[in-house]
Chains A and B, each alone.
Chain A
Amino acid sequence: MSRLPLEGIRVADFTWVWAGPFCTLQLAHLGAEVIRIETASRPCITRQILPWPEGKPGINRSGYFNQYNQNKRSLSLNLKTPEALDLAKQLVTKSDIVSENFAGGVMDRMGLGYDVLKQLRPDLIMISLSGYGATGPEREHISYGPAQVPMSGLSSLTGYKDWPPMHVGISYGDPNGGLHGAFAVLCALMYRARTGKGQYIDLSQWETSTALVAEGLLDYSMNGTQPARDGNHDLYMAPHGVFRSSGQDRWISLAVRDDEEWQRFCAVLGRPELAADPRFVTLAARKQNEDALEAIVTEWTQARTPEEANAQLQAAGIPAAPVMNAKDLATDPHLNSRPLFVYNEHPEVGVRQHIGVPWKLSKTPLPVRPAPTLGQDTDYVLRDILGYGETDIAGLRERQVLT
C-alpha cells in the first residue's frame, strides 16, 4: 500500500467538542497518528449527546463523536493526577504535534503550556484553537461554536429582509476553526521539514469565521455602511432563491446567472412570452420586479417535486439543486456512487453510514477507521509508544491514573 501523506506524524490531541477534533480529524484523514487524550471522569460533550442507535445513550454510542473522531486513537488519562500529567508529557516527547482548544490559559495552568512542552520536544508544533485566541483583552472569555456565527458578523448579514439576524443552521465557528487549524498545522509541518524548527500557532475561532465575512467587511471598509439582510437574494443574479416545491416542506434552489440564461429559463417554464417582457429582460429589470418574478417562478416550482424541477433546469444548463435533508443525502444515488460514505463495524453501534473524506487523492487513497471507544488504545500507547511493561500499566490503572 502507498504511504499516506502524514504517515509517521504523531499528534497528542487534547482537543474536545468540535473545533479541535475537526482539526485533528483532517490530520488523521491524511494519515497522522492522532491520539486523543480523554478521561471518563469528564468525557467530551460529543460523547454525551445524541444521536444514539435505538435512542439508547452510551459513552461510545454517539454519532456526533463517532463522525468527527474517525481514524483516531483514544488514550484514557485522568490529568488531575500528577502521574497522568507526567505520562502526557512523555507522550508529547514522542509526538510531532500537540493540539488543544481550551479557553485561553487552561493548558498553562495545567503545566502543559507551549513554553513547558517545547523544552521537552524542541521541534514541537503546537496549535491552540480557542474561541478568542491566546492574546487580547478577552482571551479568557468563554465561547461556543454557535456563538461564533453572530460574533463573526455573519448573523448581522444573514436573514430575511426586515427580519432579525439569523443563524446558519450549524455551529459554523467550529468547523471553520478546525479546517483553518489543519491548514495551519500543515504549513508548520512544511516549514519544519525544511528547517527542523517547530513553532506555536495561536488560532482564534472568532477570527477564522470573521475571515469568511470578507465581502461585508470590505463593503464597510469602502463605504462605511452595513449591508442589509436580504434573504436568499443576490445582487448579481435573478431569479436567485429557494422556492416551494410540491410535497411537504420541500424546496428547490435555483439561480439564473445572466440575461442569456434567463431566456433559456423562460423556455423551461413554458412561458416563452416572458422572454421579451420588459419587466424581466435585463438583470436590472428582474431585480426591480423581483416579487413579481418570484411569484411566476413559484407557480412553476410548486407544481413539481424538487427532483423534477432540478432535472428540467439542469437539462437546460441552469444551476439548481433540491434543498436536501439528511435522508435525501444518505440515500442519494450520486453520493452513493462515489467513494464518500464509509460503512465500518463499530463495537457498540455496529455498521452505520458515516461521511468519510471529502477529497480523493489519486495515488494515496485515504482509508477510514471507525472512531475509538474511550480508552481503547491506552495499553497500546503505554506499551508501544512509551515502553511500559504490563505490571507498570496494571499499577497505573490501580492508582486511577488511566480513568
Chain B
Amino acid sequence: MTERALEGVRIVECGQNVAAAYAAKLMADMGADVIKIEEPGRGDLARHRGPYPGQVPHPEKSGLFLYLNTNKQGVTLDLRQAAGREIFHRLLQDADALIHDYHPTEMASLGLDYAALEKINPRLVMTSIAPFGLRGPRTNDQATDLTLWSAGGITYLNGGGPGTDDMPPLKPFGQQAGYQAGVNASIATLGALFARLSTNEGQHIEISTQECLMSILEFTFELYPYMSIFASRLGQKPIQPLDFLECKDGWIFLCCVEEHQWRNFLEVMDNPEWAGEAIFADRVNRGANWDALKPLLQDWVQDQSVKELYDKAQARRVPIAPVSTMGDLFDNAHLKARGFFATIAHPIAGSLQYPGELYKFSETPWTIRCPAPLLGQHNAEIYGRIGLSSTEIDSLRQQGVL
C-alpha cells in the first residue's frame, strides 16, 4: 500500500465551525491521524448549520460538518469539567499538534493556554486561531465569519456598483473567513512540525483571522501606503472587460486582461463596427467607458450559449469563464476526467458527492479512509487507548464528561 504524506502525524483538534476543522481536515486527508474533540451532547456548531437533506436539521447530516471532518476520529469531552481537562492532557501527551479555534478568553479561563499545555508535552505544537489574535486591544472582541471578512478589508471591495451606491458592501457565499484562517493554520502548523524534526521542540503558533484576510487583499492594501488612496466597491473598473454577462442559457465572466485577448475576442464577435471607436481603444479607455461598452457586449452575448462561447473564446486564448452553478460543476467533463469529486458513504447521511482531491501527488495521493465521525463515535477506542477502562468510560459518560 502507498504510504501517505503525513502518515504518523498525530493531531488533536478542538473548535467550532470552519477554521480549526478545515486546517485539520487538510492534514487528515493527507494521512495525519486526527482526533476531533466535541462538546458532549451538542457537538460542533457545524452540525447545527446544514445544509441538510430536505433542509431538515439533523446533527449527523450537516453537509458542512460532513465535508470538514472527513478522515477524522471523533470523541466527546467536556473541557469545562476538571475530569475532562485531565483526559484532554492525556490525549495531548502523545500528540504532535493541537489545533483549536476556541475564543482566547475561553481557552485561558479553562487553563488551556500554551504555558500550561507545554508542561504536559514540551514537543507539542499548539496552533491557536483567534479572530483578532491573542494580543492587542481587540483580542476579546466577538466575531463571526461576516464580521471578520469586513474587519479583514475585503467586504469593502465588493458589491453595489455604478448607480447602485445604496447597496451595502457584500460578503461572499459560505464561511470564507474560516477557510482562509484554516489553510493558513495548516501551513504554519506543518512548518513548525517540519522545524521540530531538527529542533525536537514544540512551540505556540498564533493565527489572527483578520490578518490572514488582510494578506490576500491583492494590491488594494498597498494602494494606501504607496499612493495614499484606497479602493472601494464603487470604483471597480480600471481594466475592462472583466464582468458578468448573461448568455441565453446562463452567465459568463468575460475577462480580457491583455490587449491581444481583447482583439481575439473581437474576432470571436466577428469584428463589430463599434469596436473601432476610440473610446474602446485600449483597456484604460474601455474601463473608463465601460457603461457604454457593457450594453453592446451584453447585446451580442445574449444570443450565445455559455458552452459554445466558452469553447470558441478559449480556442482563441481568451480567458473567458462560465459562471458555474453547482450542477454545472458536478457535470463538468474536465473535473470528472480529473476525478475531482469524491463519493463518500456515511452511515446516517448516506452516499454523497463531495469536493475531493485538491491536488494530485505523484507518490502520496489524497485519500479518503473514512467519512466524518458520528458524535462520540470513537470514544471507546480512543479513551481505551489512553488507558481508561470501559467502567471508567461509562462513569464519565454518566457525569457528562464524555
Contact = CB atoms under 8 A, between A and B. Distances in A.
Contacts of A142: 314, 317-319
B150 A321 contact: yes
A266 B191 CA distance: 46
A135 B337 contact: yes
Contact of A216 (B173, B194, B217, B320): B173
Contacts of A133: 338, 360
Contacts of B359: 180-181, 184, 201-204, 207-208
B232 A325 contact: yes
Interface stretch (B1-9, B87-95, B285-293, B380-388): B1-9
B334 to A, nearest CB: 4
B360 A201 contact: yes
Interface stretch (A232-240, A374-382, A391-399): A232-240
B253 interface: yes
Interface stretch (B75-83, B152-160, B271-279): B152-160
Given A137-B337, A324-B156, A223 B170 contact: no
B300 interface: no
A134 B338 CA distance: 9
B220 A326 contact: yes
29 contacts: A46-B219, A50-B223, A50-B226, A138-B314, A147-B320, A150-B251, A153-B324, A156-B251, A168-B172, A175-B216, A179-B183, A188-B361, A190-B194, A204-B338, A214-B64, A215-B64, A215-B174, A216-B326, A217-B330, A249-B232, A253-B155, A319-B142, A320-B147, A326-B224, A326-B230, A334-B137, A337-B136, A354-B225, A358-B208
Interface stretch (B34-42, B49-57, B389-397): B49-57
Contacts of B352: 218, 221-222
A40 interface: no
B242 interface: yes
A194 B4 CA distance: 11
Interface in A146-177: 146-160, 164-172, 174-176
A388 interface: no
Which of A51, A159, A203, A213 lies at the interface centre, i.e. has the most chain B CB atoms within 10 A of its CB? A51
Interface stretch (A80-88, A269-277, A284-292, A360-368): A360-368
Contacts of B208: 338, 340, 358
B299 interface: no
B226 A337 contact: no
B214 A355 contact: yes
A53 B326 contact: no
A90 interface: no
Contact of A136 (B220, B242, B253, B338): B338
B150 A324 contact: yes
B167 A184 contact: no
Nearest to B209: A358
B51 A136 contact: no
A170 B220 contact: yes
Given A6-B194, A183-B187, A201-B359, A158 B146 contact: no
B155 A186 contact: no
Interface in A325-348: 325-330, 333-335, 337-338, 340
Sorted nearest first, the 9 A-B pairs with minimum C-beta distance are A218-B63, A63-B222, A169-B157, A169-B158, A220-B326, A157-B173, A219-B51, A5-B195, A64-B219
Contacts of B335: 136, 206-207, 210
B109 interface: no
Contacts of B9: 190
Interface string B214-241: 1111111111111101111110100000
Nearest to A330: B224
Contacts of B133: 338, 360
Interface of B: 3, 5-9, 26, 30, 48-55, 61, 63-64, 66-68, 114, 132-133, 135-138, 141-144, 146-159, 165, 167-176, 179-180, 183-188, 190-195, 197-199, 201, 203-208, 210-212, 214-227, 229-234, 236, 242, 244, 246, 251-253, 255, 257, 314, 317-330, 333-335, 337-338, 340, 349, 352-355, 357-364
A219 to B, nearest CB: 4
A308 B357 CA distance: 46
Given A156-B325, A184-B361, 9 more contacts: A142-B319, A150-B321, A242-B150, A255-B146, A257-B144, A325-B156, A355-B211, A355-B215, A359-B206
A197 B157 CA distance: 44
A227 B251 contact: no
A349 interface: yes
A361 B319 contact: no
A242 B326 CA distance: 26
A387 interface: no
Which of A187, A232, A249 lies at the interface centre, i.e. has the most chain B CB atoms within 10 A of its CB? A187
Given A137-B334, A212-B174, A242-B170, A52 B214 contact: no
Contacts of B187: 26, 30, 179, 182-183, 186, 359
B219 A135 contact: no
A223 B352 CA distance: 10
Contacts of B191: 5-6, 30, 186, 361
B222 A352 contact: yes
A197 B4 CA distance: 12
A358 B364 contact: no
A93 B14 CA distance: 42
Contacts of B148: 321
Nearest to B129: A359
B353 A221 contact: yes
B144 A187 contact: no
Chain A interface secondary structure, helix, strand, loop or mixed? mixed
B374 to A, nearest CB: 17
A372 interface: no
Nearest to A179: B183
Contacts of A137: 333-334, 337
B63 A221 contact: yes
A21 to B, nearest CB: 12
A226 interface: yes
B209 to A, nearest CB: 9
Nearest to B253: A150
A241 interface: yes
Contact of A170 (B173, B201, B216, B251): B216
A189 B194 contact: yes
B170 to A, nearest CB: 6
Nearest to B4: A191
B263 to A, nearest CB: 15
Contacts of A186: 187, 190-191, 194
Contacts of B188: 359, 361
A49 interface: yes
A215 B176 CA distance: 11
A319 B221 contact: no
B148 to A, nearest CB: 7
Contacts of B30: 187
A362 to B, nearest CB: 4
Interface string A243-278: 110000101011101000000000000000000000
A317 interface: yes
Contact of B221 (A201, A321, A326): A326
Contacts of B325: 153, 156, 226
A305 interface: no
A321 B143 contact: yes
